[in-house]
Each structure stands twice: as structure tokens, then as C-alpha cells.
Amino acid sequence: MGVAVSPLGVARIVLPQVSRAKAERDLLSVNSAPLREHEALALLAQAQAQLVEFLAGKRRTLDLPPDLSLGTPFQRKVWRAALRIPYGRVRSYKWIAVRVGGGRYARAVGLALGANPVPILVPCHRVVAQDGSLGGFSCGLPAKRKLLTLEGTLKQLKS
């Protein structure tokens, strides 16, 4: 797992990868203005601690500012809508589509969520298909299942 920060907040979260090199490449893809070292270290430490607590089931929310500046305007609208999904709840791709411009955009919502640079912070794992099936997840369906199990919602869905 890794975290990258920018002057605007947490810019990238990389969940466990198949290799350390892949995780490092993903983190280094964040191109942002430099932070003063003490600010960056403080935010990195805070992000890491909160993510570890969340994944251990000891925290339900992350009190971290997301940097969503790398997304398109549509992606940012989708990510902001996903931020409104509470812990332990799921919503459909269509639910988000209705909130960002129309129910017919469900497929585009899925693509935008797949580009989410800060999974867990922007809880795209809480978005499922209208029929209750899992849909997709940029970090893989096993990770989505684990996160939904942690939040107590997987048993309500078709997995």
C-alpha cells in the first residue's frame, strides 16, 4: 500500500499490488507541486495511520482532504457523489449517474470510478450494479469483496 500527497491533499492511494515496482510506478505518476517536507510528512503519516485503522476495522471514516484535481470535470463530479455514500451502505452506478447528469450515464460513471486515484478515501468500492452484483473495481474484485465485507454490506449483495 502506498500514499502520495500534493498541496491540495491526498492525491493517490495505491492498495496492495502484485509487485512493489508497480505500486511505486503508480505513486510516481502523481505530478503535483512540491510540498514543504514537514507538511508532506505529516499528511503522509496521517493518511497511512488512518488507512491502517480503516483496514483493521477500527475507523469508519477517513478525515483526509482528497486532491481530485487530476480528474476531468465529469470524473470529479462522480468522485464527489461517491464521497456521499456512507460507511456500510452501497449505491448503484445509476444512483450516481442520476446525481451527475442522468441515469443513462451509468457506464460512464463506472469508467470514472475506475480512474479514481484515491480508492477508499473516495469510496468507489461502495458502488455496485443496479441488480446488486459487484460490478468492477480498479483494485480488483477480491479487494472490493474484502472492503464490503469489512463494512458489513457484502452479504446483502450478489457476489
How far apart, in Å, are the Cα atoms of 114 and each of 2, 46, 134? Answer: 18, 25, 13
Dihedral sign for Cα 22, 20, 58, 144, please: positive
User: What's the pTM value of the predicted model, to 2 decimals?
Assistant: 0.86
Share of the chain above pLDDT 90, in %: 62
**Rounded Cα gap, residues 93 and 95, in angstroms:** 5
Residue 106 has pLDDT above 60, yes or no: yes
Instruction: Mark whether 139 is an active-site residue.
Output: no
As a whole number of Å, the end-to-end CA separation of the chain is 25
**Rounded Cα gap, residues 87 and 149, in angstroms:** 11
Q: What are phi and psi of 93, to 5 degrees?
A: -60, -40
Q: 5 with 40: CB under 8 angstroms? A: yes
Q: In DSSP terms, which residues pair with 122 in a beta bridge?
A: 119
Domains for the chain: give ranges and CATH numbers.
Answer: 2-55 (no CATH), 73-156 (1.10.10.10)
Share of the chain above pLDDT 70, in %: 84
The residue annotated as part of the active site, out of 81, 100, 106, 124, is 124
* The pLDDT value given to residue 153: 93
How far apart, in Å, are the Cα atoms of 17 and each of 4, 13, 73, 80? Answer: 15, 11, 28, 25
Residue 35 has pLDDT above 50, yes or no: no
